[in-house]
Amino acid sequence: MASTDSSPTAPAAASLAGQEYEVEVGPVAHGGHCVARAEDGRVLFVRHTLPGERVIARVTEGHEDSRFLRADAVTVLEPSRDRVPAPCPYAAPGKCGGCDWQHAKPGAQRRLKGEVLAEQLRKLAGLTPEEAGWDGTVEPAPGDKVAPGDVPAWRTRVQYAIDEDGRAGLRKHRSHEVQPIDRCLIAAEAVTELGVEARDWSGMASVEAVAATGSSDRMVVLTPRGDARLPLVELDRPVSVMRAEEERGRGEQTLHRVHGRAFVRERADGRTWRVSGGGFWQVHHQAAGVLVDAVMRGLTPRKGESALDLYCGAGLFAGALADRMGERGAVLGIEASKRAVGDARHNLADFPRVRIEHGTVERVLPRTGITETDLIVLDPPRAGAGRAVIRHIAPLGARRIAYVACDPAALARDLAHFRDAGYLPRFIRAFDLFPMTHHMECVAILEPAEKRQR
């Protein structure tokens, strides 16, 4: 029988966007904002502020019945001693959403990131920094110690969004709206030299600019809107050009070479690495070397050992392991991206005892028949590895596991899963490889719990 209920639908809760609150700002929270509580008890997540400040916060998202509101600090009434004028004119309320902490001194940025990591470890892993083997510091990359008000130009890959008028820009915070820019201050010099921001990109949805580290290779990857024709690309430096097409239901783009090479050559750990257009490589020009050094120091690979490199990308850690474990060492890499698998096999062709398999870790690893290994590296995407993957790798009995994480919450959740599976952190190192943003990179070295507890 059809329902005869004709009761009216409850009216939608009123939006509070635009309403302003005077608040005293509390602690930093994961995501590039701080927590504040208004006099009426409402919780606000406020950007463009610092702990201890008193500000006027203007609501950007939220309704009368929301559990919390998102807001921007539009007026600073009582500034923190850590505040500096944001060097970039686009790092302001309602503008570019890329940089979270340009208004904070460099040392303060790293302290804030450290507070976030400590809070995530406590909340999600049940670990104090001491129990996790972390000394509480977030280390800058070599060369990134700059004076307050200066900005390190570190980003070797910049994804520009293109607005309806063909202007290059960056997305506003939590928005698809484009903020046109004339320069991104955190972009590496070799990206800035291309002059992407000064060109008309009508018909394009996005333009990714890539500048390799250790070579002169530069590339732009163009994603058209619909069937739009590619423009004639005339930039200020020689550059390869790729056209990207979305593959429906595949989760990976198809790229077509238009001009020049279909890859860039990166340098790290004493080797040259081919990375195809659109492929993953660390965006900070020092990051690959910093992370390889941290992982190898933590794992202490020995001659003749075996290892797994999970989510291996272009093969960076697999190559570092193979080089240090010698002719009798063996490495299996697993990677879901078909393009990256091709790159890894090319990059590691001179290591006969390195094998790269294509597919997801949770599907491929059980099929390999591997029942034990000495070392494991995993560098999963931002969401982390997850309980299922950890249940696959823990029984392999590795003497040490290196977990490379770009999200402290995902790291903390997975450390809890590792504890349940019998592994505890020996130590953690945190690196500020994304200056001016809330992001960081961590390397956790884990050991079997019985060894750690002796």
Burial of 164 (0-12, 13-18, 19+ CB in 10 A): exposed
Phi, psi of 219 (to 5 degrees): -145, 145
Q: Is 406 a catalytic residue?
A: yes
* 420 known ligand binder: no
Rg of the chain, C-alpha, whole Å: 24
* 286 known ligand binder: no
**Proportion of the chain in helix, strand, coil states, percent, rounded to 5:** 20, 35, 45
Residue with token string 């500020």: 432
In the sheet that 354-358 helps form, which strands lie side by side, from edge to edge?
A: 138-140, 423-432, 441-448, 400-405, 375-378, 306-310, 330-335, 354-358
For residue 433 the two structure tokens come to 């490889």
Query: What is the spatial distance between Cα 178 and Cα 180, in angstroms, rounded to a whole number?
Result: 6
DSSP tally for the chain: helices H, then strands E: 9, 22
* 335 known ligand binder: yes
Indicate the helix (H) or strand (E) that contains 171.
strand 168-171
* 119 known ligand binder: no
For residue 149 the two structure tokens come to 């008000």
Query: What is the spatial distance between Cα 281 and Cα 312, in angstroms, rounded to a whole number?
Result: 11
Residue 424 β-bridge partners: 447
From the list 34, 96, 312, 406, the catalytic residue is: 406
How many C-beta atoms lie closer than 10 Å to residue 236's C-beta?
12
CA distances from 314 to 243, 319, 365 (A): 21, 9, 18
- Which letter, b or e, does each residue of 73-98 get, where b requires 16 or more Cβ atoms within 10 Å of its Cβ? beebeeebebbbebbbebbbbbbbbb
Residue 241 β-bridge partners: 220, 259
Q: Tell me the binding residues.
A: 282, 311, 335, 379
What are the binding residues for S-adenosyl-L-methionine? 282, 311, 335, 379
> Catalytic site residues?
406
